[in-house]
Structure 1
Amino acid sequence: MITNILIPTDYSEASFNALETAIVIAKRNNAAIQIVHIDDTAYTAEETYPIKNATQIGHAIADNIKQRHGIETTVFFKEGFIGPTIAKLALEMKPDLVVMGAYGASGHRDYFIGSNSYYTIKHACCPVLIVPEGKRWQDFNKVLFPIRPTLGGFKKYQYISDLVIKIYPDCNFELLGISIDRKDQDVKQVSEIADEMKSTWKNAVQYAVSYSFGKNIAEEVLDKADKTAPDMLVISSTVDVANKQFFIGPFSQRIINHARMPVLCVFRTPDN
């Protein structure tokens, strides 16, 4: 159950876009929204200035969400380094999901995914949904979900698929089985994982399975995303060969950096 969503904002177009997505998810789950604006002007070497009337803007946004959507909404104002502050707030508030713009909470100052988004994904105690600019993302009909047979992988995949269904109950999964050097064995295991996951879904979720046998997992996933145009891409630590707990390796980073659709990043689950 998604009951609490944390949304960092710098009042940029990217963060407002993420907020719109979070509102839709909150309404579907009767969840509360917690907005946080972080002033990092005293913590960066760049010449930046605090946003004028940031407090008034934040309260106005929260009031508007309450009035228009009937969602319980609170707003917080903090000072500090943005990434660590978000991760600390997530630990304290225990949200079920963090939703943030593709360029994180520092807007144009970040390159690609941005240091703040990267830090949040790596250190937050819950899944993080990264929402790109340029389009309103509200319906997630088609979800691309790369899976790779690993020890204990099924339990994580089951948790992730259940989370996706809570975000959008009418989704359909495109399961992309990843194999690097154990083609026949991995195909068999991916098929078994898909069947077992399907048996746990209570609603009529549909899925299809395809396979990738290339050495560069990131390029294979991005190529698949370009061809199938999913509404959401899901990644976890199992995408990277090292498969270390909480590990965000080069494959994951490249996928997040270059995906043209929202990316749900799940590097921690309730069991770890």
Structure 2
Amino acid sequence: MKTSIIHKILVPIDYSEASTNALRLAIAMCQRHKAQLRLLHIINSSRYSVNSIAFGADSWVSIPLEEAVDADVRQLRQWAEEKLHDQSIQYSVECRAGATTDCLVEAAEEFGTDLIVMHAQTTSGFLQYVLGSTTYHVIKQAPCPVLTVPEHAQINAFHEILFPVRPVPGAITKYNLARTIAQRNRAHLTVLGLFNQESSEIIKRLGTVVLSLNKLLAKDAIDAQVLLSQSDSAVKTVLEQAEERQADLIIITADNATSEHRLFRGPFFKQLINRAPVPVLSIKPRLPVTKANAQDKPLPILPTFRQFLPALPG
């Protein structure tokens, strides 16, 4: 088994049941990957810049922000000791004041975070296409992958991992992290290739990605299978396959690409996170997704893969 690439995990804490569930999963991951844990509580600084507390009958005493942060650090440390006193992991706590996304991203950079584990509320309907949640902006700006845990999900380990593959630049980037998670959990991994018949170039590009993954899976001796699915809705297909296979983790490429093709309309990762009932690991591609990248000439498909695909023109 190769050395884990997860050494430091950051978890934002707001004392809710949802963040406690995210912490429970992060603790289990720290134990499996022998990683350090950092708990972060973010304070709304405006709460202390204008508010005061009653003192006596007629007087008021303002609370300096520094004192508020110190008080919150003490509260977080006491809370962490109650949750982690019997866990064999290294951990530390931190409080920051400011905007949630900015504080979380800055803390991740300074801590050298390999993975952020945070809770995410699930939504549905038209709002999933137009609203930018804190989770969405954290994923876009974070220097590392982000594992989002639905607010009511209570998961400590992964047994079935769904690995959707789309023909977008950087789609194979997420494999290294998927491999280490699968190995540490001794999980089964299902690669799900998504395509439609609107473009033979898309199918060819997908074929190249899946062939590369097949070689890596065989080399690393991962318990895995490869499936291909023709669909007009990537999100719907992924959710259906996750339910059918009882997946407890979905690993996706977090790109902002949209497409004229119906299969990939809208930010794929945002829709999926909003609707998935299980944790979703979002990994940004190393290369920026641009129009030029999306139109690169695809590499030829090896003959051994053609048996899985519909007949291609030419």
CA distance in 2, matches of 1:190, 1:25: 28
Aligned residue among 233, 236, 240 for 1:216:
233
1:92 shift after superposition: 1.5
Aligned to 1:245: none
Distance 1:250-1:184 versus aligned 2 partners, 3 A rule: closer
Q: What is the Cα deviation at residue 252 of structure 1?
A: 1.6
Which SS does the other structure have where 1:126 is aligned? Answer: coil
- 2:46 is paired with a residue whose SS is coil
Letter in 1 for 2:211: E
How many residues of Structure 1 are paired with residues of Structure 2 in the alignment? Answer: 252
2:189 is aligned with 1:173: yes
Q: Which residue of 1 aligns with 2:137?
A: 119
- 1:82 matched to 2:90? The reply is no
Structure 2 counterpart of 1:59: 77
Distance 1:225 1:56 in 2: 41
The answer on 1:33 being equivalent to 2:50 is no
1:107 is matched with: none
Larger-Rg structure: 2
Unaligned runs of 5+ in 2: 52-67, 260-264, 289-314
Unaligned runs of 5+ in 1: 105-110, 243-247
TM-superposed deviation, 1:173: 0.8
Give the RMSD, CA atoms, in angstroms.
3.2
Q: Distance in 2 between matches of 1:268 and 1:94?
A: 19
- C-alpha spacing 1:31/1:214, structure 2 compared with 1 (3 Å): same
Q: Distance in 2 between matches of 1:187 and 1:268?
A: 16
Aligned letter for 1:136?
Q
Indicate the percent of aligned positions where both proteins have the same amino acid: 28
| Contact map agreement 2:174 2:283 (CA 8 A) in 1 | no
Q: Does 1:70 align with 2:88?
A: yes
Matched, 1:225 2:242: yes
Q: Taking structure 2 as the reference length, what is the TM-score of the superposition?
A: 0.70
The residue identity in structure 1 corresponding to 2:188 is N
Q: Distance in 2 between matches of 1:65 and 1:11?
A: 11
* Higher deviation after alignment, 21-30 or 59-68: 59-68
Residue 91 of structure 1 contacts residue 125 of structure 1 at CA under 8 Å; is this kept in 2?
A: yes
Which residue of structure 2 lines up, in the alignment, with residue 92 of structure 1?
110
Deviation of the 1:55 alpha carbon: 3.1
Q: Describe the shift of the 1:79–1:188 C-alpha distance in structure 2 as closer, same or farther (beyond 3 A).
A: closer
- Change in Cα spacing, 1:8 to 1:210, as seen in structure 2 (3 Å) is same
Aligned to 1:237: 254
